[in-house]
Amino acid sequence: MKPKIAILATGGTIAGTIDSAIATTGYKAGALNIEVLLDAVPQIKEFATIIGYQISNIDSSSMSNEIQLNLAKKINKLLIEDEIDGVVVTHGTDTMEESAYFLNLTVKSDKPVVLTGAMRPATSMSADGPKNLYNAVALATNEKSKNKGVMIVMNDRILSARTATKTHTLNLDAFFSPDFGDLGYILDGKVYFYNTIEKLHTKNTPFNIDNLENLPKVDILYSYSDDGSGIAAKALFDNGTQGLVIAGSGSGNIHQNQKNILKDLMKKNLIVAVSSRIQAGQVVLSKEDEDLGFICAQDLNPQKARILLMLSLTKNNNSKKIQEYFKIY
80 vs 125, beta carbon nearer ligand ASP: 125
| Residue 156, annotated as binding a ligand | no
CA distances to 132, 154, 218 from 138, in Å: 10, 13, 36
Smallest Cα–Cα separation from 120: which of 87, 95, 157, 155? 155
CA distances to 73, 257, 267, 271 from 209, in Å: 7, 37, 29, 21
Residues within window 36-75 making contact with ligand ASP, judged by CB under 6 A? 59-61
Window of 91-99, 122-130, 230-238, 266-274 that interacts with ligand ASP by CB under 6 A: 91-99
Of 41, 103, 119, 265, the residue at the interface with ligand ASP (CB under 6 A) is 119
CA distances to 42, 90, 187, 252 from 134, in Å: 9, 11, 11, 39
Window of 89-97, 227-235, 263-271, 308-316 that interacts with ligand ASP by CB under 6 A: 89-97
Among the options 13, 123, 202, 241, which is catalytic?
A: 13
Q: State the Cα–Cα distance between residues 108 and 85, nearest whole angstrom.
A: 14
Residue 218 near residue 201, CB atoms below 8 Å: no
Of 85, 94, 97, 128, the residue at the interface with ligand ASP (CB under 6 A) is 94
Among the options 10, 24, 93, 116, which is catalytic?
A: 93
Smallest Cα–Cα separation from 112: which of 147, 138, 71, 162? 147
115: contact with ligand ASP by CB under 6 A: no
93: contact with ligand ASP by CB under 6 A: yes
| Residue 229, annotated as binding a ligand | no
| Residue 202, annotated as binding a ligand | no
119 vs 133, beta carbon nearer ligand ASP: 119
289: contact with ligand ASP by CB under 6 A: no
12: contact with ligand ASP by CB under 6 A: yes
60 vs 123, beta carbon nearer ligand ASP: 60
149: contact with ligand ASP by CB under 6 A: no
Residue 87 near residue 78, CB atoms below 8 Å: yes
Active site residue 205: no
The values of phi and psi at residue 186, to 5°, are -120, 125
Of 29, 37, 88, 161, the residue at the interface with ligand ASP (CB under 6 A) is 29
CB of 95 to ligand ASP, least distance (A): 6
13: contact with ligand ASP by CB under 6 A: yes
99: contact with ligand ASP by CB under 6 A: no
- DSSP annotation of 313 reads H
- Spell out a b/e string for 152-188, using b for 16 or more CB atoms within 10 Å of the CB, else e: bbbbbbbbbbbbbbbeeeeebebbbbeebebbbbbee
Instruction: Characterize the bridge pairing of strands 175-176 and 165-166.
Output: antiparallel
CB of 283 to ligand ASP, least distance (A): 27
Active site residue 13: yes
Residue 68 near residue 107, CB atoms below 8 Å: no
Partnered with residue 65 across adjacent β-strands are none
CB of 134 to ligand ASP, least distance (A): 17
Q: State the Cα–Cα distance between residues 272 and 246, nearest whole angstrom.
A: 7
Binding-site annotation, residues for substrate: 60, 93-94
The contact set with ligand ASP (CB under 6 A) reads 11-13, 29, 59-61, 92-94, 117, 119
Q: Active-site residues: which are they? A: 13, 93
Which parts are annotated binding residues?
60, 93-94
